[in-house]
Chain A
Amino acid sequence: MSGLRILVPIKRVIDYAVKPRVNRAQTAVETASVKHSMNPFDELSIEEAVRLRERKVPVSEILAWTAGPAKAQDILRTAMAMGADRSIHVVTDEKDASSQLEPLGVAKLLQQVVQSEKTDLVILGKQSIDDDACQTGQMLAGLLGWSQATQASKVDVEGDMVTVTREVDGGVETLKAKLPMVITTDLRLNEPRYASLPNIMKAKKKPLEKKTLKDYEGDFSARLKTVKVTEPPPRKGGVKVEDVDGMISKLKELGAL
């Protein structure tokens, strides 16, 4: 084998530190002028791919791929600054309902990417923090008929054998599978690096290919309809009492004593 061809699909989401707000129409969360960044799990995927190469696993190419609005280009640049070699951006129109992608649509797209790019290994985040669906990796493995290892906390590649450790209730589980395969990443896999300035500069010169959904064959339209989006009920505030007597009378009042 001439070296692994790794595909890392990533997604642009509302920054995890930002508190999302539901829009007035209660159809979605507000995304306009809200800070966005790369889905945290996808940072782990990129980092892991780069680390595999640094660990002298023969890697011939790391390809970052995303489908999203024009601004999603920023996270591809970040991915390339972290160490991806090139990237593909499937530009979608946020306002066009027919280009809203769901996990199945994304998995179908990725299936075609894998085939055209002759990918051996797909590393993707176990879930994106906006819809928390946790499905894309599994669906992709199903469509391709490949082995899958989800929620990886450690990945070792030797020849065409991959050993993946995953954390499960009450311990760890170790899986072994042959390439090609799909791996989804979990939070303790690694600690993503900062994009350093020299690498950000270099990333600007790395190839970024733009595509649209029309470049792929098939039906990627959404099958689910969002009925309503609401915020969780606000927490009721507590009360402060002045002293022990105040606390006792309050507890009595509430019927706790």
Chain B
Amino acid sequence: MATSTRFAASLRRFQHYPRVTPCTSRFRPAVQVRWTGSTAATSEPHQPDTEGGVKGKTAPAKTIKFTSEAYPDIQRNSKFAKLTPDHVKHFQGLLGSESALIDGLSNDAAEDIEPFNSDWMRKYRGHTKLVLKPKSTEEVSEILKYCNNNLLAVVPQGGNTGLVGGSVPVFDEIVINLQKMNNIRSFDEVSGILVADAGVILEVADNFLAEKNHIFPLDLGAKGSCQIGGNVATNAGGLRLLRYGSLHGNVLGIEAVLPDGTIVDDLSKLRKNNTGYDIKQLFIGGEGTIGIITAISILCPQRSRAMNVAYFGLESYEKVQDTFREAKNQLSEILSAFELMDGRSQKLITKATGKKMPLEGEHPFYCLIETSGSNSEHDSEKLETFLEHVMETGIVSDGVLAENETQIRDLWSCREGIPECLGHWGGVYKYDLSLPIEDMYQLVNDTRARIEEAGLIGNDDSHPVLDVVGYGHMGDANLHLNVPVRRYNKEVEKLLEPFVFEWIQKKNGSISAEHGLGIAKKPFIGYSRSDTMIRLMKQIKDLYDPNGIMNPYKYI
């Protein structure tokens, strides 16, 4: 039963974000996918039907502008050494095998090196000539020590799925990619503590835990490509935060390497440890600016046996808030996700993929509720009472309830698929913001009005902007304001920034809820942090990375 579908799913985890037609592979309508497994009788391949393939023109494979050209204000720091053949030779000797590094200095490896130079949003592109793929913590230590002594700047890189340009070089920084450090070191079934290398792909870790009836306390759309080390280094938030809390709480220990080669072995497996400063917290969300995380130990909760997903259409943002209040009230401990999607974002999914949406008719807002618990009957009863209530009181206009696992996945794809589909036409300006819930959507309206006023939004190619959409983790008061564009354009950028950040500042929100600072938000940190806070952060950076070789030009 259903082997081929599962096979396809397992293949997917090795698939990096496709660049040109990002939506095709994930968004076959569920029906096609779901039958492949159960009908061994049909040998014929499944042709995509009229709804299957991607409609509309695919964005041409535009060349990505170099970050150094797009942001001429950023200058290469001349104190950093330039890579020489001698350096490369040293690393070759250090790492041994040929496949452990990509050398773009002495031979033409442009194609091999390009994926490490540019991000998946096609927004940032560096000039690195060297990619190193160490296999052990010791190798990372040796590499950093050498780089520190020779003033060679480096960029630590995981799955390279970041959204703020933090994982790609700006100039010729050496990329240290952790993909070869992908061992799960240990798992304790009693305490639920997992110890694993930084390069383990999130989905691989989660599948491993699923077999042991546990769950990784983090889930996000890019789970098939992103690595847990990168997740921790960026303090990724994602879909399960509402239920399981942030990585600052779940990560129990870290093994990291400092720029001078010191191995920080703090792979604690203790839930409680009040002995001195909690240094590991500096690495969580540190975006590789003070060291490279090489392994983590993390507390993993028991996997819920019963899971239900409902998807609603609502007529106003007020009703979305009412639904959220009711969901917290009636579903309380089984509520595991509450996600908001506006009608425009759902329309763009249809436009990009031809996918049939779960609800008939159009609604200005949609939300997705997931419950998970240990007893399916208990959960269903609660959920049913809740659904009856919101339908009868007219809080939601329409809705569906997933009847099986396939429908659960399909409904989730309406939320998880948004970022991928928005990039379909060329690019996306992304803002990831924390805001008081009541004000959350007003920002989207204000931003749209601003761009409409300037006449930059439209349906044809002469307008750079396609639409302004909002979606996000309602449960965490985290809004993703996205502006899908046909091309990146300075005029649009000027309209958006600093407008959005000023708006956020007025509401005492955060300009980066879960995506981090990277290169995109670095200049704007002042909108969310005071001068004192920034000074303290800089002191820490200078203390651990006095030469500034770690991920330069970014963060603070």
| Residue A18 at the chain B interface, CB threshold 8 Å | yes
| Residue A38 at the chain B interface, CB threshold 8 Å | yes
Chain B nearest Cβ from A218, distance in angstroms: 30
Tell me whether A38 and B404 are in contact (CB under 8 A): yes
Report Cα–Cα, A126/B39, bound state, in Å: 10
A198 and B391 in contact (CB under 8 A), knowing A40-B35, A129-B38, A191-B31?
A: yes
Neighbouring A residues of B104 by C-beta, 8 Å: none
Report Cα–Cα, A194/B410, bound state, in Å: 11
A16 and B356 in contact (CB under 8 A), knowing A33-B305, A201-B391?
A: no
Q: Which residue of chain B is the closest to A200 with respect to CB atoms?
A: B401
Tell me whether B409 and A17 are in contact (CB under 8 A): yes
Report Cα–Cα, A24/B274, bound state, in Å: 46
Tell me whether A243 and B407 are in contact (CB under 8 A): no
| Residue A15 at the chain B interface, CB threshold 8 Å | yes
| Residue B37 at the chain A interface, CB threshold 8 Å | yes
Neighbouring A residues of B278 by C-beta, 8 Å: none
Neighbouring B residues of A16 by C-beta, 8 Å: 1-2, 34, 37-38, 404-406
Tell me whether A197 and B38 are in contact (CB under 8 A): no
Q: Which residue of chain A is the closest to B35 with respect to CB atoms?
A: A187
Report Cα–Cα, A194/B396, bound state, in Å: 17
Partner of A197, one of B42, B396, B407: B396
Tell me whether A192 and B359 are in contact (CB under 8 A): no
| Residue B44 at the chain A interface, CB threshold 8 Å | yes
Neighbouring B residues of A41 by C-beta, 8 Å: 38
Q: Is chain A's binding surface mostly helix, strand, loop or mixed?
A: loop
| Residue B107 at the chain A interface, CB threshold 8 Å | no
Tell me whether A197 and B403 are in contact (CB under 8 A): no
Neighbouring B residues of A151 by C-beta, 8 Å: 41
Report Cα–Cα, A85/B533, bound state, in Å: 65
Chain B nearest Cβ from A200, distance in angstroms: 6
Count of chain B residues with Cβ under 8 Å from any Cβ of A? 42
Q: Which residue of chain A is the closest to B210 with respect to CB atoms?
A: A19
Neighbouring A residues of B401 by C-beta, 8 Å: 194-195, 197, 200
| Residue A20 at the chain B interface, CB threshold 8 Å | yes
Tell me whether A37 and B1 are in contact (CB under 8 A): no
Partner of B38, one of A40, A196, A201: A40
- 1/0 per residue, CB under 8 A from B, across A164-205: the answer is 000100000000000000000011000110111110110000
Q: Which residue of chain A is the closest to B311 with respect to CB atoms?
A: A194
Tell me whether B6 and A19 are in contact (CB under 8 A): yes
Tell me whether A37 and B403 are in contact (CB under 8 A): yes
Chain B nearest Cβ from A55, distance in angstroms: 17
Tell me whether B396 and A134 are in contact (CB under 8 A): no
Tell me whether A17 and B404 are in contact (CB under 8 A): yes
| Residue B106 at the chain A interface, CB threshold 8 Å | no
Neighbouring B residues of A192 by C-beta, 8 Å: 31
Tell me whether A195 and B35 are in contact (CB under 8 A): no
Report Cα–Cα, A166/B378, bound state, in Å: 43
Neighbouring A residues of B312 by C-beta, 8 Å: 197
- 1/0 per residue, CB under 8 A from B, across A240-255: the answer is 0011000000000000
A191 and B98 in contact (CB under 8 A), knowing A35-B405, A129-B38, A197-B396?
A: no
Neighbouring B residues of A14 by C-beta, 8 Å: 1
Partner of A196, one of B98, B398, B406: B398
Tell me whether A194 and B305 are in contact (CB under 8 A): no
Chain B nearest Cβ from A112, distance in angstroms: 29
Question: Which one of A35, A167, A186, A197 has the greatest number of beta carbons of chain B within 10 Å?
Answer: A197
Q: Which residue of chain A is the closest to B44 with respect to CB atoms?
A: A167
Partner of A243, one of B1, B99, B360, B404: B99
Tell me whether B99 and A242 are in contact (CB under 8 A): yes
Tell me whether B387 and A197 are in contact (CB under 8 A): yes
Q: Which residue of chain B is the closest to A232 with respect to CB atoms?
A: B3
| Residue A78 at the chain B interface, CB threshold 8 Å | yes
Report Cα–Cα, A197/B39, bound state, in Å: 30
Neighbouring B residues of A134 by C-beta, 8 Å: 41
Neighbouring B residues of A198 by C-beta, 8 Å: 391, 398
Count of chain A residues with Cβ under 8 Å from any Cβ of B? 34
| Residue B393 at the chain A interface, CB threshold 8 Å | no
Chain A nearest Cβ from B540, distance in angstroms: 39
| Residue B530 at the chain A interface, CB threshold 8 Å | no
Neighbouring A residues of B29 by C-beta, 8 Å: 191
Chain A nearest Cβ from B50, distance in angstroms: 11
Neighbouring A residues of B305 by C-beta, 8 Å: 33
Tell me whether B31 and A17 are in contact (CB under 8 A): no
Chain B nearest Cβ from A41, distance in angstroms: 8
Neighbouring B residues of A187 by C-beta, 8 Å: 31, 35, 38-39, 42
Chain A nearest Cβ from B497, distance in angstroms: 40
Neighbouring B residues of A167 by C-beta, 8 Å: 42, 44
Tell me whether B2 and A242 are in contact (CB under 8 A): no
B residues 326-383 touching A (CB-CB < 8 Å): 356, 358-360, 376
Report Cα–Cα, A186/B6, bound state, in Å: 21
A residues 19-51 touching B (CB-CB < 8 Å): 19-20, 33, 35, 37-38, 40-41
Neighbouring A residues of B388 by C-beta, 8 Å: 201
Chain A nearest Cβ from B162, distance in angstroms: 26
Neighbouring B residues of A37 by C-beta, 8 Å: 403-405
| Residue B400 at the chain A interface, CB threshold 8 Å | yes
Report Cα–Cα, A65/B18, bound state, in Å: 46
| Residue B97 at the chain A interface, CB threshold 8 Å | yes
A194 and B407 in contact (CB under 8 A), knowing A187-B35, A242-B97, A243-B97?
A: yes
| Residue B399 at the chain A interface, CB threshold 8 Å | yes
A40 and B34 in contact (CB under 8 A), knowing A17-B406, A242-B99?
A: yes
A17 and B405 in contact (CB under 8 A), knowing A129-B1, A194-B358, A242-B97?
A: yes
Q: Which residue of chain B is the closest to A29 with respect to CB atoms?
A: B1
Q: Which residue of chain A is the closest to B39 with respect to CB atoms?
A: A187
- 1/0 per residue, CB under 8 A from B, across A100-144: the answer is 000000000000000000000000001101001010000000000
The 10 closest A-B CB pairs, nearest first, are A17-B405, A37-B404, A194-B400, A187-B35, A197-B399, A129-B38, A191-B31, A15-B405, A194-B358, A15-B404
Chain A to chain B contacts (Cβ below 8 Å), 21 pairs: A17-B406, A17-B409, A33-B305, A35-B376, A35-B404, A35-B405, A37-B403, A37-B404, A38-B403, A40-B35, A127-B41, A129-B38, A134-B41, A167-B42, A187-B31, A187-B35, A195-B401, A196-B359, A197-B387, A201-B391, A243-B99
Residues of B within 8 A of A (CB): 1-2, 5-6, 29, 31, 34-35, 37-42, 44, 97-99, 305, 310, 312, 356, 358-360, 376, 387-388, 391-392, 396, 398-407, 409
Residues of A within 8 A of B (CB): 14-20, 33, 35, 37-38, 40-41, 78, 126-127, 129, 132, 134, 151, 167, 186-187, 191-192, 194-198, 200-201, 242-243
Known contacts A129-B38, A191-B31, A243-B97; can you find 14 more A-B pairs with CB under 8 A? Answer: A15-B404, A16-B38, A35-B376, A35-B405, A37-B403, A37-B404, A78-B403, A127-B41, A186-B42, A187-B39, A194-B359, A195-B403, A201-B391, A243-B99
